[in-house]
Amino acid sequence: MRSHGVLTASFLIINILMAMASSRLSLSRSVHPILRRRAPTKALFCPIKSPKSFLCPLWSSSFSYCLSHKSKTTSATLSFSSSSCCSSLSGPPSMAAAAVATATDAAVDEGLQNNPLLQDFYFPPFDVVEAKHVRPGIRALLKKLESELDELERTVQPSWPNLVEPLEKIVDGLTIVWGVINHLKAVKDNSELRAAIEEVQPEKVKFLLRLGQSKPIYNAFKAIKESTDWHSLSEARKRIVENQIKEAILNGVALEDAKREEFNKIEQELERLSQKFDENVLDATKKFEKLISDKKEIEGLPATALGLAAQTAVSKGHENATAENGPWIITLDAPSFMAVMQHARNRNLREEVYRAYVTRASSGDLDNTPIIDQIIKLRLEKAKLLDYNNYAELSMATKMATVEKAEELIERLRKASWDPAVQDMEDLISFSKKQGALEANDLSHWDTSFWSERLRESKYDINEEELRPYFSLPKVMDGLFSLANKLFGIDIEPADGLAAVWNNDVKFYCVKDSSGSPIAYFYFDPYSRPSEKRGGAWMDEVVARSRILSSNGTSPRLPIAHMVCNQTPPVGDKPSLMTFREVETVFHEFGHALQHMLTKQDEGLVAGIRGIEWDAVELPSQFMENWCYHRDTLMGIAKHYETGENLPEDVYLKLCAARTFRAGSLSLRQLRFASVDLELHTRYVPGGSESVYDVDQRVSRKTQVIPPLPEDRFLCGFSHIFAGGYAAGYYSYKWAEVLSADAFSAFEDAGLEDSKAVKETGHKFRETILALGGGKDPLEVFVAFRGREPSPEPLLRHNGLLPVTSAA
């Protein structure tokens, strides 16, 4: 978020950079027709805006959603010894150096020569890049890339060496440098860096538009497809060519001059608006701080939350703050917000914090309302210019689904979820009455999480806070890496010190194959830092696997990823003690990273998470979450951080039993987000009689048992669709959840307790889902793994939502 960061229809050349900024019908009755692709009736085109970091979904009312940082980072070429992660790096200059070599020659002044963005580096210099480096560095790089593009257009030929290879090098030169600064903006934000990026961003977008609308490049790709050599190309290369042709159309290459100029203005403005939206959400989240001195006001908060609130108070100048005596500061950052919603007995406090959360960025200088209106208006204008009826049609053009199929899936899941969700609310009312709650007959949004947690504790005898000592971050990572070894035959080792990091808490790892040779690397930034780091969790690439960008001309460049979370940091001398939800989040983002790192695709434009249809990218991430409930996996993770004691067996069984607790309510919540997203990008008329908030209220009447507050402004914080890559695509979480649940059912069919069968099935998963990247149609990839097309039945079964019940 998803980091990937699991993960569009064609993460190819312009899609990759702007992010920094065949049908087969089966008669098998096990395949639900919702997931069958239709024979296309019109050309399919790739959207120009496809942010590629993968965000985790908006799981529940008490879980801070994951925000996209819209980076698309690619690092320098790497040269590694196969014997050790930490062996010396050697070899010819990196692609980063090649991309900017002339920007540091004798004609460039000393300031540019010392600019870390323009230096010859293997791993990005995250530790030394500052705002002052951004303007001169980006401008020098763009000047160099403009020259290279001029040369490519002048000499282009319809062949791989004379078209794709130089094009990929141009792309890589920009993704490396822009990726560094945009990533730092997400994890180490400050006003100077914001201002610098905002100033050069239009120049970057202008270059990308020129690249995306290059007729010489477009014509060369068409010539390759029309040549006699077409049928001899590999499937991956055909995907690249076809998607580049589609993408060029969506980039406006076929528009007349006046319309193309209008299109370019829209793209520039959308880029600016999305960035402003994101910044407003971050600033509004940071702005809310509630100082509490009376311990009675925060009665019920667990020790972990009190320690975090006191730690926050210390950071804000209350030097003598302690967990026991305060004062405490409550924020809207996920760990703080969640703790209040789930555990604070003070109903007034819960209401105040909840109202602050759902009205973030909806007033004053940080009001996102006019930005939302303008974004939707411009997206519709863009779609019309490209001859689509609405923006959702444009978005779906490069996805597995159509608008109709996405809505059909949403409605089927809604029907299956509605009655269970109604029962969930009735259970809460009944339980709260028995507990003597004065609000029992009038439960509101700030009550549901609190009473749900009490009901879960009562029903399953599980207290999530009491489970924290069993989920220390070091043990969780050890267990996760052990699972990866069992399933995929890889070893993961610490490699701290090999690469520069942006914060001392960031860890760096090396991934090795069974022979001990490095095959990938990744960063992991686990903890919440509200003052400088965006909320949520995501995965993104730093470097993609690539044959063209090989440092030695033989072995492909190795991929690097980063995973970013916002979980509870260590408090005092205790390690980070995680909630079970935080454990699932780490597994989720690691699934995205695995697809990036374990790819065997050497064509860089479709390697790893690149080139995969947007509604399929969540498959590996959601697949990995299932293993949190697997006995051997969980028992390998859940060990008391002080005593080493295993999680008691009865607690494990209760966790499994509680897996479907309030599944109907949680499903409806996701369906609300997916439905309002599609409604705003299909039938909503900007400037009409209905506001975006009216749309949300209308949609919620069918997707929420308790309608939103009249003043609910959740949309003002919905960065997934207004500042990320999920516009007309939030349904992808549910679409991919169908795929992931069915994929995991293959392990269930093989026998989860049969180690040999699990290993064999894991190997097959690695060789298909994880290895093939965007070089093959995702439905064909799924069939190669599963032996058939996907069915939604495993998802409904896992969620306890079978049989399908009648809708409201």
Q: What pLDDT, in 10s, does the model give residues 661-691?
A: 999 999 999 999 999 999 999 999 999 999 9
Q: Residue 73 pLDDT more than 50? A: no
Strand ordering across the sheet containing 507-512: 54-55, 538-543, 560-567, 518-527, 507-512, 491-494
Residues 227 and 348 in one domain: no
Its domain, for residue 653, covers 469-595+627-659
What is the end-to-end Cα distance of the chain in Å, rounded?
33
Sign of CA dihedral 239, 242, 245, 246: negative
Per-position b or e across 167-199, b if 16+ CB within 10 A of its CB: bbbbbbbbbbbbbbbbbbbbbbbeeebbebbee
CB 552 within 8 A of CB 15: no
Q: What percentage of the chain has pLDDT greater than the value 70?
A: 86
Any domain includes 577: yes
Return the higher-pLDDT residue of 173 and 722: 722
Residues 503 and 560 in one domain: yes
Q: Which CATH number covers residue 237?
A: 1.20.1050.40
d(CA 798, CA 794): 6
Residues 312 and 232 in one domain: no
Q: Residue 6 pLDDT more than 80? A: no
Any domain includes 332: yes
User: So what's the pLDDT on residue 100?
Assistant: 46
In the DSSP assignment, the letter for residue 767 is I
Residues 355 and 504 in one domain: no
Q: Is the peptide bond before 803 cis (omega within 30 degrees of 0)?
A: yes
Does the active-site annotation cover 589?
yes
What is the length of the chain? 808
User: So what's the pLDDT on residue 551?
Assistant: 85
Least confident of 37-51, 137-151, 534-548: 37-51
Kindly report each contact of residues 218-223 with a partner whose C-beta sits within 8 Å and lies 24 or more positions away, as own/partner: 218/244, 218/245, 218/248, 218/253, 220/156, 220/157, 220/158, 220/163, 221/158, 221/163, 221/245, 221/248, 223/158
User: So what's the pLDDT on residue 93?
Assistant: 40
Residues 215 and 292 in one domain: no
Residue 570 Ramachandran class (φ > 0 left, ψ -120 to 50 alpha, else beta): beta
Any domain includes 42: no
Q: What percentage of the chain has pLDDT greater than the value 90?
A: 77
Q: Residue 36 pLDDT more than 70? A: no
Confidence of residue 108 (pLDDT cuts 50, 70, 90): very low
pLDDT of 477-495, one tens digit each? 999 999 999 999 999 999 9
Nearest Cα to Cα of residue 372 among 693, 156, 776: 693
Residues 126 and 238 in one domain: yes
Q: Across residues 255-267, what is the average pLDDT? A: 95
pLDDT of 83-98, one tens digit each? 345 443 333 344 444 4
Q: Could you tell me the two tokens for 62? A: 């008490």
d(CA 217, CA 149): 10
Please provide the DSSP assignment of 243-293 as one string. HHHHHHHHTTTTS-HHHHHHHHHHHHHHHHHHHHHHHHHHHHHHH-EEEE-
pLDDT of 551-597, one tens digit each? 888 899 999 999 999 998 998 889 999 999 999 999 999 999 999 99
d(CA 46, CA 53): 17
User: So what's the pLDDT on residue 85?
Assistant: 52
d(CA 592, CA 595): 5
Confidence of residue 638 (pLDDT cuts 50, 70, 90): very high
Return the higher-pLDDT residue of 792 and 379: 379
Residues 191 and 319 in one domain: no
Least confident of 40-44, 123-127, 349-353: 40-44
How many domains would you assign to the chain? 3
* Global confidence as pTM: 0.81
Q: Residue 466 pLDDT more than 70? A: yes
Residues 208 and 293 in one domain: no
Domain boundary among 359, 380, 412: 359
Confidence of residue 54 (pLDDT cuts 50, 70, 90): low
Any domain includes 587: yes
User: So what's the pLDDT on residue 361?
Assistant: 97
Q: Is the peptide bond before 327 cis (omega within 30 degrees of 0)?
A: yes
* 3-class DSSP state of 733: helix
Residues 641 and 501 in one domain: yes
Q: Across residues 779-784, what is the average pLDDT? A: 96
Residues 161 and 210 in one domain: yes
User: So what's the pLDDT on residue 110?
Assistant: 61
User: So what's the pLDDT on residue 479?
Assistant: 96
Any domain includes 378: no
Any domain includes 343: yes
Any domain includes 434: no
Q: Across residues 40-55, what is the average pLDDT? A: 38
Q: Could you tell me the two tokens for 232? A: 């001899």
User: So what's the pLDDT on residue 49?
Assistant: 36
Domain boundary among 659, 677, 705: 659
Any domain includes 518: yes
User: So what's the pLDDT on residue 37?
Assistant: 39
Q: Residue 116 pLDDT more than 90? A: yes
Residues 589 and 508 in one domain: yes
CB 425 within 8 A of CB 449: no
Confidence of residue 62 (pLDDT cuts 50, 70, 90): very low
Classify residue 23 by burial, with Cβ atoms within 10 Å: 0-12, 13-18, 19+.
Answer: exposed
Residues 551 and 648 in one domain: yes
CB 353 within 8 A of CB 341: yes
Residue 227 Ramachandran class (φ > 0 left, ψ -120 to 50 alpha, else beta): beta
Q: Across residues 71-81, what is the average pLDDT? A: 32
Q: Residue 767 pLDDT more than 60? A: yes
- Share the mean pLDDT of the chain: 86
Q: Residue 118 pLDDT more than 80? A: yes
pLDDT of 683-699, one tens digit each? 999 999 999 999 999 99
Domain boundary among 254, 271, 302: 254
With residue 694 as reference, give the H or E element that holds it. Answer: helix 692-703
Determine which one of 168, 582, 589, 737 is catalytic: 589
* 3-class DSSP state of 755: helix
